[in-house]
Structure 1
Amino acid sequence: MSLLELKNVSMAYGGKVLAVNNVDLTVEKGEWLAVMGPSGSGKTTLMNIIGCMDKATAGSVILDGVDLTEVSHRQLTTLRRDKIGMVFQQFHLIPYLTAVENIMVAQYYHSIPDKKEALAALARVGLEDRAAHLPSQLSGGEQQRVCIARALINYPVLILADEPTGNLDEANEKLVMQIFHELHDEGHTILTVTHAPEVGAEAERAIIMDHGRIVKSGVNRAV
């Protein structure tokens, strides 16, 4: 069953420049899709549209039964909070809060902070012993694992990861990708945006974008 469906989606800036150009894309529930391509290919713009950060200027974007092009920007913010778990390349952790407190902030904006639940989320990514540490006391790989725990805490329908290994060394990249494999095996729907072929190859399916269009698609971990 489709969780996400894009039909004839375009994004124009200044009325002329098409960052995304007439894209059709379907993502099934439980699927892991990698969106790949060089800088300027349109993959970040596509991520922003799917992630409820921008509205497409043409076409329709159906996420979990809701057409994102038909709702207000305020409603988009609510949908992003309720339906999407974001994992960023730059982590975006609050520096003066501990790992568990960073996760509880995400709970606060969604419903009610629950420390026990936040600690369980940290345990899910193998960081229960680092709960009281500040971001500055964590390695890059540990910070990214906190970000994954934060993304999962509100039970999103879609995990959206932007260059999730871009700031990690090889060892931590393998650890983070193993967590994504486990999440996929558990039935989570994942969309990773990356320029790294080795990261894209880990996904169940990958698409390659160029000049705002999907130019290639591969399945079964083959691009």
Structure 2
Amino acid sequence: MSLLELKDVSMAYGGKVFALQDINMTVEKGEWLAIMGPSGSGKTTLMNIIGCMDKATSGTVILDGIDLTDVTHQQLTTMRRDKIGMVFQQFHLIPYLTAVENIMVAQYYHSLPDKKEALAALDRVGLEDRANHLPSQLSGGEQQRVCIARALINYPVLILADEPTGNLDEANERLVMKIFHELHDEGHTILTVTHAPEVGREAQREIIIEHGRIANSEV
């Protein structure tokens, strides 16, 4: 069974303006998939649906064997918390909490904070020595690595990364992509959303979105 399956998924606003139309795609467990496309193509809308942040107007979305078609928004929130690890372009770290505390907040909303486990997650991305630093004391690359550690802390079935290198310089981009390669080698399922061809090429497979539709046939 596929980890993620979308069947005839569309998203319309006001019943007339389509951000997505008739999206069909699957993601297998352990796969690394890149969703590519220019700004306004619909890839962010697709990410929001896959990430349980929004519901499609029509079609079927199945994540880890669960049909999301008729679930409530509260159930979507639970799915996002339990199944998905999010990595954002803008980091979204809480500015007055240290690196390790930012990770423990994610644990709190899932189950119970565990500082030892949070420190281990930071060590996994090479940042245990920065555990007590505030986000303002970290470089952009370090903040993104904290985000990756936070995404991993609750053992998600899917890592969903939105433009994960968009705010990074070339050196930090290479470092972050190295971590994604290591995670993929360990068996994690990764979906990256990006407009950068060099980032998309790192994945096993690319899906190109244009004008709300899948433009390439290998999906």
Band the TM-score falls in, shorter-chain normalisation: over 0.9
Match of 2:88 in 1: 88
Question: Could you list the per-position Cα deviations for residues 33-73 of structure 1 after superposition, in whole angstroms to 9, with x for gaps in the alignment?
Answer: 00000011110000000000000011000000111121000
Deviation at 1:217, TM superposition (A): 5.1
Question: Could you list the per-position Cα deviations for residues 135-154 of structure 1 after superposition, in whole angstroms to 9, with x for gaps in the alignment?
Answer: 00000000000000000000
SS across alignment from 2:183: helix
Query: How many corresponding residue pairs?
Result: 219
Q: Amino acid of the residue matched to residue 147 of structure 2?
A: C
**TM-score, with structure 1 as normaliser:** 0.97
- Rounded Cα–Cα distance in structure 2 between residues aligned with 1:195 and 1:216: 15
Superposition map of 1:33-182 within 5 A: 33-182=33-182
Match of 1:185 in 2: 185
Q: Amino acid of the residue matched to residue 152 of structure 2?
A: L
- Rounded Cα–Cα distance in structure 1 between residues aligned with 2:187 and 2:217: 22
SS across alignment from 1:179: helix
Question: Could you list the per-position Cα deviations for residues 164-189 of structure 1 after superposition, in whole angstroms to 9, with x for gaps in the alignment?
Answer: 00000000000000000000000000
SS across alignment from 2:24: strand
- Rounded Cα–Cα distance in structure 1 between residues aligned with 2:58 and 2:129: 48
Let me know the Cα RMSD of the aligned residues: 0.9
SS across alignment from 1:61: strand
Unaligned 5+ runs, structure 2: none
**TM-score, with structure 2 as normaliser:** 0.99
Q: Amino acid of the residue matched to residue 73 of structure 1?
A: H
- Rounded Cα–Cα distance in structure 2 between residues aligned with 1:203 and 1:14: 35
The 3 A distance-change label for structure 1 pair 215 and 165 is same
SS across alignment from 1:2: coil
Please tell me whether the aligned partners of residues 208 and 217 of structure 1 are also in contact (alpha carbons under 8 angstroms): no
Q: Amino acid of the residue matched to residue 48 of structure 2?
A: N
Q: Amino acid of the residue matched to residue 150 of structure 1?
A: R
- Rounded Cα–Cα distance in structure 1 between residues aligned with 2:74 and 2:29: 26
SS across alignment from 1:216: coil
Question: Could you list the per-position Cα deviations for residues 13-51 of structure 1 after superposition, in whole angstroms to 9, with x for gaps in the alignment?
Answer: 111111010000000000000000001111000000000
Q: Amino acid of the residue matched to residue 118 of structure 2?
A: A
